[in-house]
Structure formats: structure tokens, C-alpha cells
Amino acid sequence: MITLENISHKFEIGKKGKKTIIPVLNDVSLHVRKEEIVTIVGRSGSGKSTLLNIISGFIHPTEGKITIDGTDVTTFNEAKFADFRLEHLGFIFQSFQLIPSMTAFQNVELPLILKGVPEKERIEKTNNMLETVGIKDFADHYPSELSGGQQQRVSIARALIVNPPIILADEPTGSLDSETEEDILNFIKKLNSELGITFLIITHDERVAQIGHRTLEIADGKLVKEAALV
Ligand SMILES: Nc1ncnc2c1ncn2[C@@H]1O[C@H](COP(=O)(O)OP(=O)(O)OP(=O)(O)O)[C@@H](O)[C@H]1O
């Protein structure tokens, strides 16, 4: 589902004459199979977010090839990647990234509006999705009127609403207490086993890493370890 071949990335900071090159990823290759959960761990600053941003098309790597869901996206420009993301990738973030002025329903409906789905179909799909994630009763609540776990469920619903085959998650339980964390992790496992959604998750958290069929570690810009946990 996701194949990275020989990805390297260097950031360049500073002005002309005083440029500093920061090498972050060095010859990273990775293959995430269909219906797999892969977790990526690594110290702060090891390059996890950079890797996720490269797969998401927000950062163009200095070198290497990226194939997602059978499509070579390496040379996609911003607009092309934005369209591709809408069809193929869902995102879950630590901070939920919900729009505060929109209700749970409106947050989940938004990707369908961006895709141009007609209103009647949008309402039906959004209601079904709110039911799937167990927050139908909270459809009219604003994010500030929801618990952390409920907000993450809304954000998962928003990620799932366009049926992406792959979900990319950045510390999906980083803002949650341990009980709610367990609830969300079980929910991710269920989405994987029942709907066949592929997950790539980056995390510091051992409990999150444990839900991966495989866990990879990034250190010094390289993927250094691959451990099967289940
Ligand atoms: N836009 C940027 N410009 C310059 N350097 C950057 C940029 N983004 C990240 N870096 C550097 O790249 C390295 C990797 O950062 P990255 O955010 O990918 O790490 P991380 O493993 O996700 O860290 P954390 O777990 O703390 O979020 C760090 O040294 C960081 O300072």
C-alpha cells in the first residue's frame, strides 16, 4: 500500500552564505502491506514526522521514490497531491485538528463537501459514520463540548468518511488519558480487522507501538529495527 524506496531528506536552513544542511532521513526503504498496521517509533527529533510528511506529500524528499496504493506520487505537485490525498489517505493527529466553529457533524461532513458530494448523500453518509464511531448522540456538539476521546472519534470519522484505504496517524493518543487511549487503540484495531484499513502510526508510546503487526524504529535517519509484535 505504501512503498518508500531509498528516501533521503535534508533540510536547509539559514540564509545565503550561512546555510546549514540538516540531514534527517538517510536511504529509508519501507513497504507497508495492505491491511497491515505498521507503527514507527524513534526518539524526539529522529525524523518520524518528517517521514509522515513525506508520505503525505507535504514535504518533497531530497531523494527517493514513493508509491501509494499503486500510484507513483514522487513527482506530484501540490495540487495533484491534494486531490490524491482526498481519495487515498486519511489523517489522525494528536491534537485532533477539528474545526472549533463546526459541530461534530459538520467536521465529519467537510471532506464530502470538498469532494463535491451532493447534500442528501452527505447527510446520510455522515450520520452513518457518526454511528460507526459511536458518537451519533453528540452530532450537534462543538469540539469544546466533547471529551478528548470523543474528539478523537470525530477526527477518526472525518478521516474515514471518504473511505480511504490508508490512515496515517501522528501520536493518535498523545492527548488522551490511559483509559481513553486503550479505547481508541481498540477502535483502530477494529477498523483494521473489520474494514481492512491500513494504518501507519508514528508514536513515542510503547502501548501504541504494540498495536502494530510490525514496529519499525528510526534512529540517525535510518530504519534500524524491525520487530514483529504479534
Ligand atoms: N522545516 C524544518 N526545517 C529544518 N529542520 C527541520 C524542519 N523540520 C524538522 N526539522 C529537523 O529535522 C529533525 C527531525 O524532525 P522530526 O520532526 O521529523 O522528528 P520527530 O521524530 O517527529 O520528533 P518528535 O518526536 O519530537 O515529534 C529534527 O532535528 C528537526 O529539528
Q: What is the pLDDT of residues 173-183, one digit of tens each?
A: 888 888 888 98
Question: In whole numbers, what is the pLDDT of the chain averaged over residues?
Answer: 92
Atom of ligand 1 nearest to the CA of 202: 22
Query: Does the pLDDT value for residue 157 go beyond 70?
Result: yes
How close is the Cα of 169 to the center of ligand 1, in Å? 16
The residues pairing with 149 across neighbouring beta strands, listed in sequence order, are none
- What lies within 8 Å, CB to CB, of 88 at 6+ separation is 68, 69, 71, 164, 165, 166
* DSSP H or E stretch at residue 109: helix 104-114
pLDDT, residue 180, reads 86
Cβ of 158 closer than 6 Å to ligand 1, yes or no, is: no
Distance in angstroms (rounded) separating the CA atoms of residues 207 and 18: 42
Q: What is the mean pLDDT of residues 153-157?
A: 92
Distance in angstroms (rounded) separating the CA atoms of residues 128 and 161: 9
Cβ of 19 closer than 6 Å to ligand 1, yes or no, is: no
CATH code of residue 215: 3.40.50.300
Atom of ligand 1 nearest to the CA of 218: 21
Query: Does the pLDDT value for residue 50 go beyond 70?
Result: yes
pLDDT, residue 164, reads 92
Residue range(s) defining the domain that contains residue 102: 2-228
For the chain, how many structural domains are there in total? 1
DSSP 163-226: --SEEEEESTTTTS-HHHHHHHHHHHHHHHHHH--EEEEEES-HHHHTTSSEEEEEETTEEEEE
Cβ of 13 closer than 6 Å to ligand 1, yes or no, is: yes
Can you list the positions of beta strands (E) in the chain?
Answer: 2-13, 20-32, 37-41, 63-68, 71-72, 89-93, 166-170, 198-203, 214-219, 222-228
Q: What is the pLDDT of residues 99-132, one digit of tens each?
A: 999 999 999 999 999 889 999 999 999 999 999 8
Report the nearest-CA residue for atom 12 of ligand 1: 24
Confidence of residue 86 (pLDDT cuts 50, 70, 90): confident
Cβ of 45 closer than 6 Å to ligand 1, yes or no, is: yes
Percent of the chain with pLDDT over 90: 74
pLDDT, residue 226, reads 67
Q: What is the mean pLDDT of residues 10-17?
A: 87
Query: Does the pLDDT value for residue 25 go beyond 80?
Result: yes
Report the nearest-CA residue for atom 31 of ligand 1: 45
pLDDT, residue 10, reads 96
Report the nearest-CA residue for atom 4 of ligand 1: 11
- Ligand 1 probe mutation, 50, 59, 168, most atoms within 8 A of CB: 50
Query: Does the pLDDT value for residue 230 go beyond 50?
Result: no
Cβ of 48 closer than 6 Å to ligand 1, yes or no, is: yes
Query: Does the pLDDT value for residue 228 go beyond 70?
Result: no
Amino acid residing at 32: V
Q: What is the pLDDT of residues 51-85, one digit of tens each?
A: 999 999 999 999 999 999 999 999 999 999 999 99
Query: Does the pLDDT value for residue 229 go beyond 60?
Result: no
How close is the Cα of 21 to the center of ligand 1, in Å? 13
Report the nearest-CA residue for atom 17 of ligand 1: 49
- Ligand 1 probe mutation, 15, 24, 171, 223, most atoms within 8 A of CB: 24
